[in-house]
Amino acid sequence: MFEPDFLDAGALSGPTQKPAGKTGARAAPSARASGKATMPAKAHAGTSESGKGVGKSSANTASDLAEEADAKTGATGLGDSAGDDGIQADPVFEAIMRAILLRRLRPGTKLGEDIIAQMFDTNRMHVRKVFAHLAYRGIVKLQPNRGAFVSRPSIRDAHEVFESRRAIERACVERLIDVLTPHALAQLREHNQMEQQADRADRLAFIALSGEFHMLIARLCESRILHKFMEELTAHTALIIAEYEHPGSLDCSPDCHPQLVELIAARDHDGAVALMDQHLQQMFGRLDLGNRNTEADGIAHALYHGMKANCCSPASGR
């Protein structure tokens, strides 16, 4: 797996450009057009603001559905990377996602097809395939005759993603408590120590560790479906925070994660779920939905460290 390094996004993205037309995947509702972000009292994952919802989601419902889906994918293999043509194992895909998670690729950044192909010693068709997968996931927006741009999430996207995360992460916590092993608990505590020892001045390291904690919970809860949901939601969260964050704010309180681990260790379902819910609401509350980040698109850095010229092929795996 490649680790981020500092590369000028001018090399990655080419001349600074902004996507034409509307910003974001959908138009933002006027009622949410300004001010500090506030979340509904309950999360309704999958319910759109147009009223055409797919049903109310609770932690138990999400967990039950994931358990049923896990049983099915165990037989069909749909939860494996092969179901995605191995795209998650692709070095180009992996590096772009990593850069987005670390907020090195900002929303609105133009992705240069030629330079990415050169960096990975691959061809443009392969890069286009990666862009197509990223576009399907809503991470990249393809514009005819203009190219691929990192998506700019709308205010509505921000509400929907965090509502979904509340439902999914509550389910992850409940399942983890049910299947918790001494080894899993040791991994959580070890990660807490890494977070506590991280230099707060090293923003990239702190962002990475903070996001990895949430993904660790999703992985340890032993649900491939919940883990897959979290992979998607975490990437969208990174774009949302990059677009609407207050400069210098931290994603997570340094004390919240250790407290959550101890509640999980005590098998306190109600306490752990309540703290996770509060934690996500605090993250959302730190967004400034009235102001988009106006940082120049071309300054995004980095993709990779220790890049090898022959590392990239369409069939490569993670």
Same domain, 140 and 244: no
Instruction: Write out pLDDT tens, residues 60-112.
Output: 555 555 555 455 444 333 334 334 546 768 899 999 999 999 888 889 999 98
Judge whether 185 lies within some domain.
yes
Same domain, 141 and 182: no
Judge whether 231 lies within some domain.
yes
The domain of 169 spans 155-285
Which H or E run includes 72? Answer: helix 59-76
Comparing 189 with 30, which gets the higher pLDDT?
A: 189
Same domain, 267 and 296: no
pLDDT over 60 at 17, yes or no: no
pLDDT (0 to 100) of residue 204: 76
Judge whether 73 lies within some domain.
no
Same domain, 101 and 3: yes
Same domain, 144 and 165: no
> Is 3:306 a contact under the CB 8 Å cutoff?
yes
Instruction: Write out pLDDT tens, residues 127-147.
Output: 999 999 999 999 999 999 999
Judge whether 202 lies within some domain.
yes
Which one-letter DSSP state was computed for residue 42?
S
pLDDT (0 to 100) of residue 35: 47
pLDDT (0 to 100) of residue 250: 60
Same domain, 116 and 139: yes
Q: Which residues have C-beta within 8 Å of that of residue 293, sequence separation ≥ 6?
A: 106, 107, 242, 243, 244, 245
Comparing 6 with 279, which gets the higher pLDDT?
A: 279
Long-range own/partner contacts, residues 22-27 (CB < 8 A, 24 or more apart):
23/108, 23/152, 23/154, 23/292, 24/151, 24/152, 24/153, 24/154, 24/155, 24/156, 24/157, 25/138, 25/141, 25/151, 25/153, 25/154, 25/157, 26/154, 26/156, 26/157, 27/154, 27/156
Q: Which residues have C-beta within 8 Å of that of residue 181, sequence separation ≥ 6?
A: none
CATH of the domain at 276: 1.20.120.530
Same domain, 185 and 219: yes
Same domain, 166 and 142: no
Judge whether 52 lies within some domain.
no
Same domain, 189 and 243: yes
What are the C-alpha distances in Å from 248 to residues 7, 242, 283, 293? 22, 11, 13, 12
Judge whether 74 lies within some domain.
no
CA dihedral 22→25→28→33, nearest 10 degrees, is -80
Instruction: Give me the number of domains the chain comprises.
Output: 2
Same domain, 146 and 159: no
Q: How confident is the model at residue 200 (pLDDT cuts 50, 70, 90)?
A: low
Instruction: Write out pLDDT tens, residues 214-266.
Output: 999 999 999 999 999 999 999 999 999 999 987 666 667 768 999 999 999 99
